[in-house]
Each structure stands twice: as structure tokens, then as C-alpha cells.
Amino acid sequence: MSDPEILDCRGLRCPLPVIELARRLPELPVGAVLRVLADDPAAAVDIPAWCRMRGQEYVGANGSGYDVRRLI
Amino acid sequence: MSTYFDAAAAAPLHPVARQALIAALDDGWLDPGKLYSQARRARQLLDAARGSMAESLGVRDDELHFCANGTEAAALAVRGGLAGRRRFGVTFVHSAVEHSAVLQAAAGESVPVDRLGRVDLDAFSTAVKAPGVALAALMSANHEVGTVQPVDEAAALCADAGVPLYVDAAQSAGWGQLPSGWSLLSASAHKWGGPPGVGVLVVRKGTRWLDPRPTAQPPNLPAVVAAAASLRAVQNTATAAAARLAPLVERVRTTVAATVPDVEVVGDPVNRLPHLVTFSCLYVDGEALLHALDRQGFAVSSGSSCTASTLRPSHVLEAMGVLSHGNVRISLHRETTSEEVDRFLAVLPGVVAELRAQAGVSGL
């Protein structure tokens, strides 16, 4: 698998990382993985919750990044 | 027009509490611990308040301890419960969604909850059966999302394991029947309409508990009298109050889900407190939402990280795995009217839409 796209949201406070994720993910092809770099502690809760609400796949946390796969 | 929707933080003072407080300030300002005859009246007031509160809670007079507030009562329950069982172990088992007053009282082993905020009883059972457990804690109902915990079942598991159970009943006391089977219980008078500054700790007979304080402070007698009188008053009307408020909470849950796009209504839909409801709005800043509602005259609370001094999201929402930003908790009280709830429901969709438009996230 190729390296995931990186979305750097470090320094952004919630809900901004989730908003940036919602903007960027639809620009990627279905099946692609986006790695969101975020240091706001709320991102660890809100990114998986967003995936659940939007029917996207939360792949997991990877270092300071959260991997999301576009399903729809 | 201003509407107070934060009774879970502090309920408005009940008229009976105000009356009792004023009367007790005249009659109960003496130190009840003194031996001269004038102090007898103060002692009588304290004994009567203790008796009344014990009866309201369904416990014995000598099982009640008064302290400075609910936070202190929780700390005394946890630290005293652990100290009393040091011979058997040091582990403190608690649900992941306990109040921070409980979590900060001692380090412990956290038992997960499900998406609705209900404790995982299998995991709780495994945790309390492990060797070296001194104390377990499970709250009666959650202060942020309203989910009622299966305390009776947890108490049975604890009894099997020979581990005492502490129940933080801060959000349930005054709302009807308390759970059974516990060894320690705490509550806070200003959550039921009593005055601030009265915490209640119940230590059941036979519980190993060591008071961690060097000396117990003398009770704030007028406040204790008012707390006892108001608890009796709210208990008498608890069933009717719950029957009136629970449908209002249900109206909020269904209407918010139907009229606000991208909202997550959280907490158990059925087994819940009658007066508390919580939801999170996607892409909305919790602090901005709180201030926007304040400008519309609504006092509400939020578990979003931007509203916390620590800048961390609520550990309750985190443990449940639900959206933590754009979070609003509204908690109703005995004076809340149906009209106030309807006005909130009429205003909310526009407030959320405007905040989303300002942030450029409409339709995202």
C-alpha cells in the first residue's frame, strides 16, 4: 500500500481538525487513506466519532496521526 | 428572558430550604457540641435534621456523616473506604465515567462503558474478582449524559467478590428510589435544591471505613437543617416531578435529532435521569455554542474541551466514544416549564445553523 495522504492539523483546536478532515477526504478516491496529524486531545475522540457518523472507516491512530479510509 | 438549564451543577434553592435556612439561622447558630443549656436547642435541631435525612435516604441516623460538599463526601468515601480495607488490598475499581471528584480521590482501575455510557458489567465483574481489590465505585447515574447505571447488579457482583461498593448518588438523590446493596454512598444538597455547602456521606453498618480526616469538622448546622428539610420536600414530590420532566427530556431528544442536522444525542435513551439531556453538534465549537445560547437567555453546560480549564474533552464523552465538540448538556429542575423547553427547541436550530455558517462548514 502506498503512503497515506497527510493532512497537517497540528496546532488546530477542535472542531477544526474534524472540519479539515471533512473537507479533504471527499477529494481523495474511494479506498484511499488520509492521515490526519492533530495534537488537540479531542481529536482522538472526535475523528473516530466523525467516521461513525459519516460512514467512513476509522483505521486507527498511528503516532500523532489518525488514519481514515474513504468508503463513500 | 432567562432560562436556567443547569440544575445538574446546582439546582435552584427549594422554597422549603430557604424557609428552613432562615429559621435555623435564628435558632441554630450555637455550637451544638457545647454543654451549656442554650446549645441544647442546636443539638436538637441537628439530631432532627439527621433523623429526617436518614429517613429520606432509607438509612440509619448513625450511618450519616455531614461534610463540606459533594466533592469532599466523594473523597471521604473513596479514601476512607480504601484505608479501611488496606489489609485486603489497595486496588480501587471504578467505572470510566465516574465524576472527577471520585477519580481524583485515588488512582484506580477503570472499567469501560458502552456507547450509551453504561458500565460493562462483565468487565466490572472480572475487575472486582481480581485479588487485592479494596473498593469498587459505580455512580447511580451519570452527571453529563444522564445514563442510569446498573448499580443493583454491580452490588450483587461486589457482594459475591466480598468487595464493598461506593455509589456516588449526587445526581439521583431527591429523584426517587436509591439503589440498594451498597456500602458507601455520597450526595450533595445543592443538587436537590438544598443550600450549597452540604455534602452527605453514608457509611453502612459493618463497612470497613476509616475517616481519613484528623478531626471531623463541625457541621454547618443551618445549612444541614435546610438540606434535610428540602430533601424531604423533594422526595415527597419526586415521582410527580420526574413524571413531568421526563417527557420534556424526551421531547428535547427527539426534536433536536429531527431539527438540527448532524447532531448526536447521547446517553441511554431509556434508562436515564428524568431531568438531564445531552447532545453534540458536528463542526460546532462548544464554547461558541454555549455563549450563543447564553445570549438567547439559556444557561447550559458543555463537556467540550474548549469549555474546560484543562482544554481536554470530557472524560465521560471520551469513554463513550461519542462526539465531544459542540456539546451541550441541559438539566431541568422543578420550576422548568414546558414553554421554556419549547422556546429552547425553537431557538436552537437557528443558533447552530448560524454558527456553522460563520465557520463556513454549512453542508460539509
Rounded to two decimals, the ipTM of the complex is 0.94
d(CA B202, CA B182): 10
Mean pLDDT of A4-20: 94
8 Å CB contact of A42 and B282: no
Of A22, A45, A46, the CB nearest to B364: A22
* Residue ranges making up the domain that contains B351: 238-359
Residue B8: inside a domain, yes or no? no
| A chain contacts of residue B318, beta-carbon cutoff 8 Å | 44-45
Please determine, for residue B179, whether its predicted confidence score (pLDDT) is greater than 70.
yes
| pLDDT at res. B98 | 98
Q: Which of B140-144, B213-217, B311-315 has the highest mean pLDDT?
A: B140-144
Answer whether A53's CB lies under 8 Å from A26's CB. Answer: no
Q: Are residues B154 and B276 in the same domain?
A: no
The count of structural domains within chain B is 2
CATH pick for A5-69 out of 3.40.50.150, 3.40.50.1820, 3.30.110.40, 3.40.50.2000:
3.30.110.40
Please determine, for residue B278, whether its predicted confidence score (pLDDT) is greater than 80.
yes
Q: Are residues B193 and B287 in the same domain?
A: no
Please determine, for residue B34, whether its predicted confidence score (pLDDT) is greater than 80.
yes
Is B313 at the interface with chain A, CB within 8 A? yes
Please determine, for residue A1, whether its predicted confidence score (pLDDT) is greater than 60.
no
Please determine, for residue B45, whether its predicted confidence score (pLDDT) is greater than 90.
yes
Residue B1: inside a domain, yes or no? no
Q: Are residues B274 and B145 in the same domain?
A: no
Q: Distance of alpha carbon B287 from its chain centroid, rounded? A: 22
| pLDDT at res. B363 | 86
Q: Which residue has cell 450511618? A: B63
Query: For testing the chain A interface, which of B283, B289, B315, B325 should be mutated: the one with the most A CBs within 10 Å?
Result: B325
Mean pLDDT of B3-21: 97
| pLDDT at res. B169 | 98
Give the residue from B170, B203, B236 where a domain finishes.
B236
Q: Are residues B257 and B208 in the same domain?
A: no
Label the pairing between strands A5-8 and A33-37: parallel
d(CA B86, CA A24): 54
List the beta strands (DSSP E) in chain B: 3-4, 64-67, 91-95, 109-111, 133-137, 165-168, 184-188, 199-203, 263-266, 276-281, 298-299, 327-331
Which of B67, B158, B281, B306 is the catalytic position? B306
| Number of CB pairs, chain A paired with chain B, less than 8 A apart | 61
Of the two residues A21 and B30, the one the predictor is more confident about is: A21
Please determine, for residue B160, whether its predicted confidence score (pLDDT) is greater than 80.
yes
Give the residue from B221, B236, B251 where a domain finishes.
B236
Q: Which residues 25-64 of chain A have a CB within 8 Å of chain B?
A: 40-42, 44-46, 48-50, 53
Residue B9: inside a domain, yes or no? no
| pLDDT at res. B282 | 97
Mean pLDDT of B273-301: 96
Label the pairing between strands B64-67 and A5-8: unpaired
Q: Looking at the complex, report in whole angstroms how far the Cα of residue A66 sits from the nearest Cα belonging to chain B.
A: 15
Q: Are residues B184 and B285 in the same domain?
A: no
Q: Are residues B285 and B311 in the same domain?
A: yes
Of B305, B322, B364, the CB nearest to A14: B305
Q: Are residues B199 and B109 in the same domain?
A: yes
Mean pLDDT of chain B: 95
Of B312, B321, B359, the CB nearest to A48: B321
Q: Are residues B37 and B85 in the same domain?
A: yes
Residue B65: inside a domain, yes or no? yes
How confident is the model over B323-350, as pLDDT tens digits? Answer: 999 999 999 999 999 999 999 999 999 9
Residue B5: inside a domain, yes or no? no
Residue B262: inside a domain, yes or no? yes
Q: Are residues B243 and B342 in the same domain?
A: yes
Backbone angles phi, psi at B339, to 5 degrees: -65, -40
Q: Looking at the complex, report in whole angstroms how far the Cα of residue B249 sits from the nearest Cα belonging to chain A.
A: 23
